[in-house]
A = this chain, B = another copy of it.
Amino acid sequence: MKKITSEQWSPEVLEKLIPGHSVDCVILGYRNGNLYVLLLEWKGTGIWGLPGGFIYRDEDMDCAAGRVLKERTGLDYPFLSQFHTFGDYGRRDPAQTPQLLETWDAEDTRLRDWIIQRFITTGYFALVNIDACGPLKPDPLSSQCSWIPSRTLPLLAFDHKEIIHTAMEHLRRQVNYLPVGESLLPETFTMKDLQLLHEAILGKKLDRANFQRKMLKSELLIRGARKTGTGPHKAPYLYRFLPEKQ
C-alpha cells in the first residue's frame, strides 16, 4: 500500500490519476443521539456531495479512500470498508456537471473534459468520532465541509443520495458485527449512550433490558465507576471498550 500525500488538482496531477474511476466516502459520525454524514458543498451551488477523490495510477484503491478521509478529517485509517461500486452509465446527471465547474478555470478544457467524463465510483464507508477529527477541510471544488444530520439530507449531487442509502443499509445489516460503539462514541459512555447509537443506526427503538444483556454478554465492555449527577434516578455505570486484542 503506497501512500500519497494530498495535492491540488492540476493538469500535471491529472496525468497521474486514473481517469473515469473515483472513490466516494460515506463518513458517519455521531453526537447526542443523531447520526451525521460528512458532506461538502459545491462552491456557490447549494448542492452537496460526498467527500470523494481520485486514484493515483500507482495507488491501491483502498488507499485512495483512506487518503480522502485523511484529507477531509485528518484521521488516519480507522475502520474503512468498500461496500458497493456504482457503474451505471447515467449515474452522473450531465446537467449538474456545469455547476460543478463554474468556479474552475474555464480556459483550460483539459480540466473540464477530465471532470465531466463518465465516472464509475466505488463507495467506502467509515465510522469516526466527530471529536477526534481535526479541522474539516473542503476540497478544491467545495466551499465548506460539514457534518450534516443523516435524517435531514440537503440536495445532493448525482446519485449521492442513493450511495448514502446503500451505505446505511450496509451498516444496518452489519451493526451487530461492527465496532460501532468503539468508533463513534467517546472513551467512556453509559449503556444508554450505546443504545441510543444503535437506535440511531437502526432507526427503531430497542428494548433496554435485552440490549443491556446482549452487550454485556459480548464481553467487549468493561464496567467502570458510576456516573454522578445525571438526575433524580439511579446513577448509571460508565463503560469503556476492552483494549484491542493483539
Contacts and interface: CB of A to CB of B under 8 A. Distances in A.
A57 interface: yes
Contacts of A120: 18, 21, 55, 61
Task: State which size class the interface on A falls in.
Answer: 20 to 34
Contacts of A2: 89
A18 B20 contact: yes
Contacts of A150: none
A59 B19 contact: no
A55 B84 CA distance: 17
Number of copies: 2
Contact of A88 (B19, B21, B61, B85): B61
Nearest to A123: B85
Given A82-B84, A84-B82, A89 B18 contact: no
A134 interface: no
Interface in A43-86: 55, 57-62, 82, 84-85
Contacts of A82: 84-85
Given A59-B89, A85-B85, 11 more contacts: A2-B89, A18-B20, A19-B19, A57-B118, A58-B89, A60-B87, A61-B87, A61-B88, A62-B87, A82-B85, A87-B122
28 contacts: A2-B89, A18-B20, A18-B118, A18-B120, A19-B19, A19-B20, A20-B20, A20-B21, A21-B21, A21-B120, A55-B87, A55-B120, A57-B118, A58-B89, A59-B89, A60-B87, A60-B89, A61-B85, A61-B87, A61-B88, A61-B120, A62-B87, A62-B88, A82-B84, A82-B85, A85-B85, A85-B122, A87-B122
Interface of A: 2, 18-21, 55, 57-62, 82, 84-85, 87-89, 118, 120, 122
